[in-house]
Amino acid sequence: MDKILIANRGEIARRVIDTCRTMGIATVAVFSDADRHARFVFEADEAVPLGGAAAADSYLKGDAIIDAARRTSADGIHPGYGFLSESAAFAGACREAGLVFVGPRPETIAAMGSKIESQRLMAQAGVPVVPSRTIDGVSDDEAVAAASDLGWPVLVKASAGGGGKGMRIVRSDEELVEALAAGRREAASSFGDDTVYLEGYVERARHVEVQIVGDRHGRVVHVYERECSIQRRYQKIIEESPSPGIGAETRRALLDAAVTAGSAVGYEGAGTVEFLVDGAGGFYFLEMNTRLQVEHPVTEAVTGLDLVRMQIDVARGGALPEQADIPPAHGHAIEARLYAEDPGRDFLPVSGTLHQFRIDGSVRVDAGVYDGAEVGIYYDPLLAKVIAHGRDRAEAARMLSEALAGARLHGLQTNRALLVRVLRDPEFLAGDFDTQFIDRRGVDELAAPLTSAADAEIHALAAALSDQAVRRSGAAVLGSIPSGWRNNPSQYQEVTFRRGEAEILVEYRLEAGAAEARLNGREVRAGHLTAAEDHVEMTVEGVHRRYTVSRAGGRHYVDSALGSTDFVEIDRFPAAAASVAEGSLTAPMPGMVRRLDVAVGDDVEAGDVLLVLEAMKMEHNVVAPTAGRVIELRAAAGEQVEAGRVLVVLGS
């Protein structure tokens, strides 16, 4: 292959481009209308527009992607992960078009792409599997009976794809019917296949996966395991290698089972065999992902291998080394997935402008975003993967948590605080956790702001002092004199900021090189003070620090050794707020109305689902907060709505 088209976007497109560049292979990007200005588009040697914004209108259009390869004379296609990476039909179409698909054979993808079929094949090969039941074409009563036969709780799972899409844990027959319907909708939206099945749910299990690579000459090797138990909404957010929770005997058995699984299907390319490990060390095959994994960098970190290069070498017909020649793992690597989402609101995805994006430290950052990037509603809200490699697990966790805590992430709500708290949690550091860690520890506690209330008040003072410096620098007269300056102490200047639900009243008066202040009534003195538009330096309570200050989207962002804080300044003379009718339910995020479950005049009970919103391939139920009657419906199924839009009005 001399030229590879990357049938993907964002950070994985950039990742493939980097390896191709080192191998002397030309690259072609394809992009949707929403990604027209994305960085990967300009980093590739050539780029072809696909049109559309939604995945179904762009990155899932296999015919258009193959046509783009023809027009640019590409001879190979790398699918990345997600989208068409596990589409047997697309891999087959590439083969028919004379293009090398950088991945397994279509027949392997088809066999492993159906979790139902893959479990049957693994059971035949002697690999332990989780008990499951198919429910295609069965009635609701028959589905309930199948779940009861498995034993509650059960998982509703999409047969195609992964990433937690279409997955629901169900603990009673009353929940099952709705879970099946929602799982089918989400699976159809994400993978174009609404097939779901039931799987026994293993309580307090760990999720451990094994990286395998196979070549065209019949050899399959493993590249060790990864621990993936830290999850939210059944999707991994922290991954690491090696796994801290399995012993040497279980590790050897897992690695051997993964190679057996790959050999059973004649696997070619990079793939992952995923297992559940119970508290006794027993393990069960979950699924095989016939693609590169999001978390592949942790394996690269501990081995020094380039897994994308291995994919391309195998696709070119190259032979893999023997298992004994695979480099031994050294040290410990941990990856955190940084998402644009609000953990405190059931991990709702967030869209908008990412005004500043900087992550420093001795870490690897795989990102598709940059300062000023627009994060839309059409794709997964992953901003970046941040990877630390240390001499041991404690060092890797410390490096990663410090890099995330000190990152400048301005403009969007992220899961940064939750990631940092998990990485610093004693239970996590002890390696004593399972897939329910986040639910058990509590999202509210884990996702609380990293900066304490007292430190946030100091940041608010820095924001106020920077603002006054801006005002004086633009003054028509006596611009060098601080605003509010007097020969003798006089009244305080006041400004109020809002941080989340809390308000911070900053009262201050300036002296030469200093300021007296009250922060929500707490008296502090800022000495050795210099203030400018983008920073403030001052000594508070005996410690001198530099505070960087920026403003964007009506917010103030302050970063220092104390952490990061963002504020909204409260107008002292606010205009009358636009009123919203009592009983109005608004859109919690921008998205598409997937389904309306009520009509005008319907009586509803508290907790009833009124409609379903879809954004970034995830569904969100809008439910009735109290009993009432539907007075108005202000949105239609299939309509795109903005955040804050009134959707339903309830009355008594």
Q: Give me the residue label for tokens 């820095």.
A: 462
Q: Assess whether pLDDT exceeds 70 at residue 575.
A: no
Mean pLDDT within 193-209:
88
Q: Assess whether pLDDT exceeds 80 at residue 503.
A: yes
Mean pLDDT within 290-295:
97
**Same-domain status, 464 and 438:** no
**Same-domain status, 511 and 608:** no
**Same-domain status, 141 and 98:** no
Q: Is 18 exposed, middle or buried (0-12, 13-18, 19+ CB in 10 A)?
A: middle
Q: Assess whether pLDDT exceeds 70 at residue 161.
A: no
Which residues constitute the domain of residue 614?
A: 584-651
Q: Which of 420, 446, 472 is the last residue of a domain?
A: 446
Element (H, E) at 264: helix 248-264
What's the CATH code of the domain at 625? 2.40.50.100
181 assigned to some structural domain: yes
Question: Is 302 or 173 the better-scoring residue by pLDDT?
Answer: 302
Mean pLDDT within 538-567:
96
Q: Assess whether pLDDT exceeds 90 at residue 40.
A: yes
Q: Which of 11-20, 115-124, 157-166, 402-411 has the lowest mean pLDDT?
A: 157-166
What's the CATH code of the domain at 94? 3.40.50.20
State the pLDDT at residue 395: 98
**Same-domain status, 242 and 226:** yes
Report the distance separating Cα 609 and Cα 596, nearest Å.
9
124 assigned to some structural domain: no
User: SS3 helix, strand, coil % of the chain, rounded to 5?
Assistant: 30, 35, 40
What's the CATH code of the domain at 345? 3.30.470.20
In 3D, which of 105, 83, 81 has the Cα closest to residue 289? 81
In 3D, which of 101, 553, 51, 563 has the Cα closest to residue 291? 101
Rg (CA), the chain: 27
Indicate yes or no: pTM above 0.85: yes
Rama region for 394: left / alpha / beta (φ>0; ψ in -120 to 50; rest): alpha
Instruction: Render pLDDT for 331-370 as a digit per residue (tens, 0 to 9).
Output: 999 999 999 999 998 899 999 999 999 999 999 999 999 9
pLDDT bucket at 400, cuts 50 / 70 / 90:
very high
397 assigned to some structural domain: yes
**Same-domain status, 229 and 337:** yes
311 assigned to some structural domain: yes
579 assigned to some structural domain: no
Q: Assess whether pLDDT exceeds 70 at residue 181.
A: yes
State the pLDDT at residue 485: 55
**Same-domain status, 252 and 398:** yes
For the chain, what is the domain count? 5
pLDDT bucket at 180, cuts 50 / 70 / 90:
confident
Q: Which of 200, 217, 246 is the last residue of a domain?
A: 200
To the nearest whole number, what is the mean pLDDT of the chain? 92
578 assigned to some structural domain: no
Beta bridge partners of 177: none
pLDDT bucket at 494, cuts 50 / 70 / 90:
very high
Q: Which of 168-182, 377-391, 508-522 has the lowest mean pLDDT?
A: 168-182
**Same-domain status, 307 and 389:** yes
State the pLDDT at residue 291: 97
Strands annotated E in 242-321: 269-277, 283-289
**Same-domain status, 388 and 275:** yes
What's the CATH code of the domain at 512? 3.30.700.30
Q: What percent of the chain has pLDDT over 70?
A: 95
State the pLDDT at residue 477: 58
What's the CATH code of the domain at 174? 3.30.1490.20
**Same-domain status, 266 and 356:** yes
Three-state DSSP state, 310: helix
Q: Which long-range contacts (CB under 8 A, 24 or more apart) does 486-490 make?
A: 489/516
336 assigned to some structural domain: yes
Cβ-based neighbours of 491, under 8 Å, separated by 6 or more: 509
**Same-domain status, 557 and 605:** no
**Same-domain status, 195 and 217:** no
What is the secondary structure of 544-590 as a DSSP string? EEEEEEEEETTEEEEEETTEEEEEEEPPSSPPPPPP--TTEEE-SSS
26 assigned to some structural domain: yes
pLDDT bucket at 280, cuts 50 / 70 / 90:
confident
Q: Assess whether pLDDT exceeds 60 at residue 262.
A: yes
Amino acid 146 reads A
Three-state DSSP state, 154: strand
**Same-domain status, 254 and 398:** yes
Q: Which of 569, 595, 613 is the last residue of a domain?
A: 569
